[in-house]
Amino acid sequence: MIDSFNASKTKDQVIKHGLFDDFRRLADCSQDAIYHYDISSRQFLFHNQKFRLFFQLQDRTEISIPANLILRSIHPEDRQPAQAALTESLNSDHATGEAEYRILHPDGTILWLHDRWIVLRNRDGKPLAIQGFISDNTQRQLSEIQFIESKENALIGSYIVREGRFKYVNPQFISITGYDEAELIDMDSMSLVHKDYREHVRKSAVAMLKGVSLVPYEFCVYDKTGSTHWVMETVTSFVYKGKRATLAYFMDTTELHEIKDNLSTLGLMVGTISHSLRGCLSGLDAGLYLIETGFYRNRPAQIEEGLDVTKLMEVRIRKLVLDILYYSKERDLEIEDLEVWRFAKEIAIFIEKRIKAANIRFITDFLNLSGNFAIDSEIIRAALINILENAMEACIEDVREIDHWIRFTARADKTRVTFEISDNGPGMGEEQASSIFQLFSSSKGKRGTGIGLFVTRKGILKHGGTISVDSSPDAGASFRIVLPRKPLANRKD
């Protein structure tokens, strides 16, 4: 009976050893290192041929390998992070863990390894052993380094996003966004996208990643200062540090959009200016007709009327040309030191006759106005006359039968000069008043170019001044211009 039992036991051992040898031969064929680490003895009790190759153990014949021998092979910079990852697995409820580290061989060769393991525990949850697989990621790491180096010198922005957060950004992307690299890494990638375009970006990126669309998509992003940029983007799926990620190429197209906008603006400007010039030419024709017929029929009053119409058209053409020149080309301020009272009085005299001829009362108030101020007289004179003419035309077109008036006042203190032009015309609604200084915004319909008040504001801002309007329907309008006595020379808008 005993002999039979011993024979059976010997047979089981032979089978087990045979299975173990078969497993070892199979493990030695693996491209990954395979190991079994016993925690209590701190020994690697099983390891395959690839494990010995990774850690330069080909000359060692013993089956058990002490842990400190393996630890010494790990690059000094990676030992602590690798040990921390292992400790976290042992001290938590996690059954698995992983770490990436470098192996430094005596000849200076470096291998990048990716170690993945499972923790074996007893019934009480105490860790007993670790079994793992180690992959050689050296080629992948070298490829990533080459990829990063190529992107560092790229002329367009690029970045890598994983789980919705930036994991890599190149210098050009940093330049476009205005953030530091440290600020961008782990930032929510959608936080840079303009809120109006976030859904568009999500849908476009998903379509491109799925291969449904190959067309780059455009959207607006915020930079660190809050300014917006137009960008064009393409995305592709990408493996970064062993995990699936998204690689994006990112080109700033803001200047291209500005060129498009300028071309559109140019077309609109040509159209509005042509229409205005046609109106002025028609007025000149009418004035010349009155002069000619008045001359042949000996009607002095008709000749005078024709001259007034012709002069008015000449003023409008001159103003239109000056507006176009000032809008189209930046120029430095030509500063003159002028007496405030005399400057305001000359403007009032210039416009008074035309306002009164339209049966509109003209009220001026320049009392206690003393001292000089330094301005570009051509720009400020044109600005004030433009506002006065607008007030006159608004009163003329007002269908209400009321006694219309225009008030032109000027005040000055030690540092500022304030002009105010108000009327009791039809006024404007809030929406129109808020856009009145924008290019091509006009309350005159087809008769206006929408350039005058835009240029007026531009000239005043260049002096370091301000312009504002207060208006409501049927309550007239009041324009307030504040200028420093001494402007910031050649200030840009």
pTM over 0.95? The answer is no
Mean pLDDT of 94-109: 86
Query: Is 48 contained in some domain?
Result: yes
- 352 and 396 fall within a common domain: yes
Looking at the structure, do residues 419 and 443 belong to the same domain, yes or no? yes
> Residue 54 domain-assigned?
yes
- The residue whose two tokens read 């680490």 is 37
Tell me, yes or no, whether 3 lies in a domain: no
For the chain, give the secondary structure using H, E and C. CHHHHHHHHHHHHHHHHHHHHHHHHHHHCCCCEEEEEECCCCEEEEECHHHHHHCCCCCCCCCCEEHHHHHHHECHHHHHHHHHHHHHHHHCCCCEEEEEEEEECCCCCEEEEEEEEEEEECCCCCEEEEEEEEEECHHHHHHHHHHHHHHHCCCCEEEEEECCEEEEECHHHHHHHCCCHHHHCCCEHHHHECHHHHHHHHHHHHHHHCCCCCCCEEEEEECCCCCEEEEEEEEEEEEECCEEEEEEEEEECHHHHHHHHHHHHHHHHHHHHHHHHHHHHHHHHHHHHHHHHHHHCCCHHHHHHHHHHHHHHHHHHHHHHHHHHHHHCCCCCCCEEEEHHHHHHHHHHHHHHHHHHCCCEEEEECCCCCCEEEECHHHHHHHHHHHHHHHHHHHHHCCCCCCCEEEEEEEECCCEEEEEEEECCCCCCHHHHHHCCCCCCCCCHHHCCCCHHHHHHHHHHHCCCEEEEEECCCCCEEEEEEEECCCCCCCCC
CB 84 within 8 A of CB 71: no
User: 409-460, pLDDT tens digit by residue?
Assistant: 999 988 999 999 999 988 888 877 777 777 654 555 444 455 677 778 888 8
Q: How many CB atoms lie within 10 A of CB 476?
A: 23
* pLDDT at 115 > cutoff 80: yes
**Are 480 and 354 in the same domain?**
yes
Please indicate, yes or no, whether residues 220 and 354 belong to a single structural domain of this protein: no
Confidence class for position 117, pLDDT limits 50, 70, 90: very high
Please indicate, yes or no, whether residues 154 and 125 belong to a single structural domain of this protein.
Answer: no
Q: Which of 45, 232, 197 is nearest to 120 (CA)?
A: 45
Q: How many residues make up the chain in this entry? A: 493
The pLDDT assigned to 274 comes to 62
The answer to whether residue 243 is domain-embedded is yes
What share of the chain has pLDDT > 90, as a percent? 25
Mean of per-residue pLDDT scores for the chain: 81
Is the Cα torsion angle 268, 274, 280, 283 positive or negative in sign? negative
Q: Give yes or no: residues 350 and 271 share one domain.
A: no
- Same domain assignment for residues 289 and 349: no
Residue 177 lies in a domain: yes
Domain assignment of residue 366, given as a range: 331-493
Q: How confident is the model at residue 239 (pLDDT cuts 50, 70, 90)?
A: confident
Instruction: Tell me the per-residue pLDDT of 352-402, one tens digit each, with 9 for 90 and over.
Output: 888 888 889 999 998 878 889 999 888 888 889 888 988 988 898 888 878
Q: pLDDT value at position 325?
A: 59
Confidence of residue 119 (pLDDT cuts 50, 70, 90): very high
Q: Are residues 345 and 453 in the same domain?
A: yes
**Model confidence at 261, in pLDDT bands (50, 70, 90)?**
low
My answer on whether 226 and 164 are in the same domain is yes
Q: What is the CATH number of the domain that holds 394?
A: 3.30.565.10
Q: Is the pLDDT of residue 478 over 60?
A: yes
Domain boundary among 252, 285, 311: 252
End residue of a domain, out of 312, 329, 346: 329
For the segment 315-322, the average pLDDT, to the nearest whole number, is 68
Query: What's residue 447's pLDDT?
Result: 47
Last residue of a domain, one of 83, 111, 135: 135
Same domain, 286 and 189: no
Instruction: Assess whether 29 and 167 both reside in one domain.
Output: no
Number of domains in the chain: 4
Flag whether pLDDT at 4 surpasses 70: no
Most confident of 106-115, 152-161, 267-276: 106-115
Average pLDDT over residues 26-45: 89
pLDDT at 300: 86
| Residue 220, in any domain of the structure | yes
Task: Decide if 4 is inside a domain.
Answer: no
CATH number, domain of 317, equals 1.10.287
* Same domain as 83, residue 38: yes
Q: 140-157 pLDDT, tens per residue?
A: 776 666 666 655 565 678
CATH number of the domain that residue 40 is part of: 3.30.450.20
Tell whether 211 is covered by a domain. yes
